[in-house]
Amino acid sequence: MTAMVKAEGVHKSFGAVEVLKGIDLEVQSGEVFCLIGPSGSGKSTFLRCINHLEKINAGRLYVDGELVGYRQKGDKLYELKDSEVALKRRDIGMVFQRFNLFPHMTAVDNVIEAPVQVKGANRAQAKERAMQLLDRVGLADKAGNYPSQLSGGQQQRVAIARALAMDPKLMLFDEPTSALDPELVGDVLDVMRDLAESGMTMVVVTHEMGFAREVGDSLVFMDGGVVVESGNPRDVLTDPQHERTKAFLSKVL
């Protein structure tokens, strides 16, 4: 079985600041992979590298066995064209901290936008599927609402439905509950738990240690642009081996 995501010595710098200093990890197909760590540790940047929203400076990053952002011929790397990058992004869903729903479209229009515009799906069929997805995230009755008329938790669940509408093989979650009121976090986590049970491969950057412990299959603790500790979330969270991990967990747990 090939890994869904495979990183080999991934480096990323913004100008002179090196944010990722050689990340090696593997995300297996069907697993829920949690990335935790203090802010500025590079976990969100790494997530954004996976669908090429950020370009990596060194190392290799593979999704489903294919190089991200490049094509290798012999020992030469060729940058992919924008259209080729876009083609690969179709299979990778992403959920953002700040939802990023399209404010000029209703919830259901947000969900059908990509299938219709990118895949050329039939509008009526896309709408039917969108209604199923909105029902799955518990928002079938809000289909006609604009994002400004929805709570943060509802917006995030629409955003998850929007990503699922492209039938991705991999879902990336960038701190999906960090911008939410505490009482709304549960609804979003429930949807994610449901998604995990259906066998979706998920990479989740999160501060929700409870979610990581219950739902996560693997966990990585990052700090200062490197992987400090990794393993089964229940082991790492209850019995951290590294001093830095212990210090971090003592603050957040």
Tokens encoding 144: 């006609």
- Residue 9's H or E segment, with its range, is strand 3-14
Is there binding between residue 86 and other proteins (CB under 8 A)?
yes
Among 37, 42, 93, 225, binds other proteins (CB under 8 A): 93
How many residues bind other proteins, per CB under 8 A? 29
**CB of 10 within 8 A of CB of 22?**
yes
Q: At what angle do helices 107-117 and 123-136 cross, to 10 degrees?
A: 130
**Interface stretch with other proteins, choices 58-66, 79-87, 125-133, 201-209 (CB under 8 A):** 79-87
Q: How far is the C-alpha of 87 from the C-alpha of 33, rounded, in Å?
A: 24
Is there binding between residue 104 and other proteins (CB under 8 A)?
yes
Site string (35-64) toward other proteins, x via CB under 8 A: ----------------x-x-----------
Helix (H, G, I), strand (E, B) or coil at 221: strand
**Residue closer to other proteins (CB basis): 106 or 230:** 106
Give the closest residue to 43 by CA, choosing from 196, 203, 200, 190.
203
Angle at 55 between CA 218 and CA 102, to 5 degrees: 80
Is there binding between residue 100 and other proteins (CB under 8 A)?
yes
Is there binding between residue 89 and other proteins (CB under 8 A)?
yes
Least Cβ distance, residue 21 to other proteins (angstroms) = 24
Q: How far is the C-alpha of 68 from the C-alpha of 55, rounded, in Å?
A: 9
Tell me which residues touch other proteins (CB under 8 A): 51, 53, 82-83, 86-90, 92-94, 96, 98, 100-104, 113-114, 117-118, 146, 148, 159, 162-163, 166
